[in-house]
Structures are given as C-alpha cells and as structure tokens.
Amino acid sequence: MAAPQYRVDPGLYEYATTRQREVLEAINEHGSMRAASKSLGVHNTVAMQTLRAVERKAAIHGYSPQHDLSRKVAPGFVAKGHSTLYRRGEAEPVLQWVKTREDAEAREQVIREAVAALMDDVPRAKPAPVPKHGAAHLCNVYTLTDCHVGANAWGKQTGADWDLKIAEEVLTGAFQAMVNASPAAETCVVAQLGDFLHFDSLVPETPTSRHALDADSRYSKVVRVAVRVMRNVIDASLAKHRRVILLIAEGNHDLAGSVWLRQMFELLYEREPRIEVIDSELPYYVHQHGETMIGWHHGHLRKPDHLPGLFAAQFPTIWGGTTKRYIHTGHLHHVYEKEHSGVTVMQHPTLAARDAWAARGGWISERQVTAVTYSSRYGEVARNTVTPEMLTT
C-alpha cells in the first residue's frame, strides 16, 4: 500500500518568504518532508523546520485552522488570545473573539527566521586577505554608538545637519580614521553599541514609548544605508586586523533592528573565519582579552553606576579570571567616565547631530568617537579620538 501523501495547507503560503514557499510547494508536490528536502538538495530536516517556522508565524497572526483559528489579525499585530464558542456536541465553532497586541518576543523569533530565509540566496562574503602584522597582546575597541541612521536634523534649529547622506559619510569616514590612528593590533572589536537605527519600523517613532521622531526618508532606504555602513566598517577592520569581533548591541531605538542586523551579518560573513559575532540574547555583552575584561551595554536598561555589580554577577568566571576590567556604554550622548572598585565604566558620546527634541531641551554634547587599545596584561594602553570636524580639514 502506498504511503499517504502529506499535504500543506495552501493558506500558509501567505506567511512564507519566497524561499519558504518553494519548500512548502515541494512538500505538496512530492508528498513527504524527506522527498521534498531531497528534491531541493538540502538536509532532510529542512522541509519540516521550514513548515514549522511558517506555521508559527501564521499562528502569531491568528491563522491555524487545525486549532480552529481562522481570524487573521491586522498587519503589525499578533494574536494574544482567542475565545471560541462551540455548541454542545458539535465540533465546528459558532463564534470566535480574537485579542491582539504587539508581541516583542514573538516578533523577534519571526525576524530571525525571516532573515535566515532571506539570506538563503544571498552570496556570502568571501574571505578577505589576511594582514601581515598585528601585535597579539593588543586589542583595539572601535565604538560606534547612538549613530541614529535615518534621523533628520535641520542645522538652523539643531546646530548641525544630519540625514542619510551625511550619516554615511561621517560614520564611514570617522571609523576609517579611528582604524588608521590605532596601533597594529592582532584583534579588534567593532562595538556598534545600539541605536544605530533611529527608528524601528515603517513608522518613525520609538518602539516602546511611541514618541514621534524626525526621520529622513523611508525605512527601506534607512536599512540600505545602515547595511552599507556596517559592511564598510567591517571591511576596514578586516583589512587591518587578523581577528575581528563584531558586536551589534540592542538599543532602545532599534530593539528589532539590532536583531536582524546581528543575524544578517552573522550569516553574511559565515565563510569568513576571521570574524566572530557576539550573539547574546541579553543586552549585556563581554569579551575576555587575556587578563582584561571588556564589557558593553547600551545604557537604556541600567545606569552606569549599576553596571559593575551586574557584570560581576552576570559574568563571574570572566570577572574572576581578569585583573583589568572595563565596561562601555552609550545612550545619553555625552562623555562620562568613572572608576569603581575593580572596573572602569566609560560612557561614549555620539557622532550624530542632535535632533529637534534634544535642541529644544538644551542638551549639548561633544560629537566624537574614541578607539581604545587594550593590552592582554595591562588593560588600557592607548586612545584615539575622532571628531566630525577632523574629516573636513
């Protein structure tokens, strides 16, 4: 007797990417998960994993017929609860109520799966030539924080202009200047410390408080510029350092953007053995360089003075295995540095021009970026600072 043919609900096609739909159609064509995977030339578990990912995404949007869920929610929302009325003794529902909300955790999972699916057909970056020189005991930390790509500032009101074109020129120019000025270290950390993107969706507003933001252009153009800047930054790092550690931290302006950026660049450079992406589900990050601990947090959840105790508890093994400890943060757009017992906290300013809200509130800070060089034994041994004005002289 022939094995029963497996069928995928065509209603799921609406929730699939182009690549995912190809997999679902292959399942319907061949009648089984294994046969579909074989026909596509992928591992025999890919079809099942793809189907489950699409089913989860559909359920988040209120569509799961096998569970009598057929009321689709509006775009941008997820189903947080269903109430279904059945007549006694009957299997078919009579009425159904659907409650909706935005769900950050579910949204993050969908973003991860969508980015992975979209990256299936994107050519991976080829390994770059390895630089010849680099001191093994040194690590350069290049910090970019609160870049607010996509923000719009009018110089007459804010003191300086800021838009997509200016952001790309200033960020790539300042980063290259940091690289050029820093010692030839074997290792570097590209610390993109959050709020790289000014807004986090098609609507220019903060993702949690829903404050309206001054934005330059559409989100798709913002994404294009942001990706291009990050690629230039990474390529500049690979040209100088034998090992590149990439941190794309969560900020309060780009809660979701930091997820897909991190996922995208991890996949894009998966064939580059010299790149390591820090992938933490918590917005607290750490790297051990010999006897030196280097930590990061954007600054939106914990204040600088609270970070030493948190990092000691969060990373006790690294804390106990080091004698020099540093934590980098951003968020407040101005310089702050304080030495605590056993750790120094350094808050970085931004390269971006202030927006109208900051200007009207009287917030003023120096615009700059700083590369810090750490020794594996002695902690910080050098600093190099770049300002926007240095790029035009």
C-alpha to C-alpha distance for 31 and 253, rounded to whole angstroms: 45
pLDDT tens, residue by residue, 220-279? 899 999 999 999 999 999 999 999 999 999 999 999 999 999 989 998 999 999 999 998
C-alpha to C-alpha distance for 328 and 280, rounded to whole angstroms: 16
How does 337-375 read in b/e, with b if 16+ C-beta sit within 10 Å? eeeeeebbbbbbbbbbbbbeebbeeeeeeebbbbbbbbb
Both tokens assigned to 138: 């040194």
pLDDT band for position 1 (cuts 50, 70, 90): very low
Query: 329 exposed, middle or buried (CB, 10 Å; 0-12, 13-18, 19+)?
Result: buried
> What average pLDDT does the segment 321-350 reach?
97
Task: Provide the mean pLDDT of the chain.
Answer: 88
| Rg (alpha carbons) of the chain, rounded to whole number | 24
C-alpha to C-alpha distance for 205 and 215, rounded to whole angstroms: 9
Question: The sheet that has 243-248: what strands, in order across it?
Answer: 275-277, 243-248, 185-192, 135-144, 369-375, 379-386
Point out the least confidently predicted range of 15-29, 128-142, 176-190. Answer: 15-29
Q: Note the pLDDT of residue 105.
A: 56
The larger pLDDT score, comparing residue 50 to residue 171, is at 171
| Residues 149, 285, 168: CA angle, nearest 5 degrees | 15
pLDDT tens, residue by residue, 342-388? 999 999 999 999 999 999 999 988 999 999 999 999 999 999 999 99
CB distance 299 to 269 below 8 Å: no
Taken in order of first residue, the domains within the chain and their CATH numbers are 10-118 (no CATH), 131-392 (3.60.21.10)
C-alpha to C-alpha distance for 369 and 353, rounded to whole angstroms: 13
Q: Does pTM surpass 0.85? A: no
Q: Is the Cα dihedral 235, 236, 242, 245 positive or negative?
A: negative
C-alpha to C-alpha distance for 143 and 160, rounded to whole angstroms: 22
> What average pLDDT does the segment 69-90 reach?
57
Which residues make Cβ contacts (< 8 Å) with residue 367, sequence separation at least 6? 160, 349, 350, 351, 352, 353, 387, 388
pLDDT tens, residue by residue, 137-169? 999 999 999 999 999 999 999 999 999 999 999
